[in-house]
Amino acid sequence: MSRAIYPGTFDPITFGHLDIIERASHIFEETIIAVVKKPFKSVFLPYKDRLKLVQEATKSVKGVRVEGFSGLVVDYAKSKNINIIVRGIRMLSDFEYEFQMALTNRKLNPKIETIFLMPHPKYSYLSSRLIREIAYLGGNLDEFLPKCCIEEINKKIKSK
């Protein structure tokens, strides 16, 4: 069975991530979306909310499973017996960071390969950070996020 892991922070999951997930689901029989529990950057949504929103947003995509993980992504992949990591490249500016991460992961575990997928150009400018900023400033999020995420983010902002 062909399987891959798509790891990320998903703070929150956007239409751009969903585009990558759908593309991966056409290539692999099973794609595990791995939501990092404690990323090395500050997050807006707690782990449980990020996980729940990824689950809701992907429930109609066939061959996709959502899990949380901590520790190194290569160790998590190994524990699942998976040797492919999927990452999305939106534009050239993503490349340097992704290239570094892929080569570092390869150094940590040479058996694990990273493959890159490109989202549809209409999503190439999307970023979770800018979406969080729009949300804080009361902008319309319909073009960027699934409905379940918009409701959760608006709730979160109101409660702050």
Count of residues that bind ligand COA according to CB under 6 A: 24
The token pair that represents 97 in the structure block:
């960071």
Active site residue 2: no
Looking at residues 13 to 52 of the shown chain, list those that interact with ligand COA (rule: CB under 6 A). Answer: 14, 16-17, 20, 36, 39
Please select the residue that binds ligand COA; options are 9, 25, 31, 114, rule is CB under 6 A: 9
The token pair that represents 155 in the structure block:
């709730």
Residue ranges in the chain assigned as alpha helix (H): 15-27, 47-57, 73-79, 92-108, 128-136, 147-159
- Binding piece for ligand COA, criterion CB under 6 A, among 23-31, 50-58, 98-106, 146-154: 98-106
Residue 88 touches ligand COA, criterion: CB under 6 A: yes
How many Cβ atoms are within 10 Å of 22's Cβ, its own excluded? 18
Q: How far is the CB of 25 from ligand COA (least distance, A)?
A: 14
* Residue 83: partners with Cβ closer than 8 Å, 6 or more residues away: 77, 111, 112, 113
Which run of H or of E encompasses 4? strand 3-8
**Locus of tokens 């379940």:** 148
Residue 146 touches ligand COA, criterion: CB under 6 A: no
Q: Are 128 and 9 in contact (CB under 8 A)?
A: yes
Please select the residue that binds ligand COA; options are 24, 28, 53, 90, rule is CB under 6 A: 90
Q: Are 37 and 68 in contact (CB under 8 A)?
A: yes
| Closer of 39 and 63 to ligand COA (Cβ) | 39
Q: How far is the CB of 72 from ligand COA (least distance, A)?
A: 4
Residues that bind ligand COA (CB under 6 A): 7-11, 14, 16-17, 20, 36, 39, 72-73, 88, 90, 101, 104-105, 119, 123, 126-129
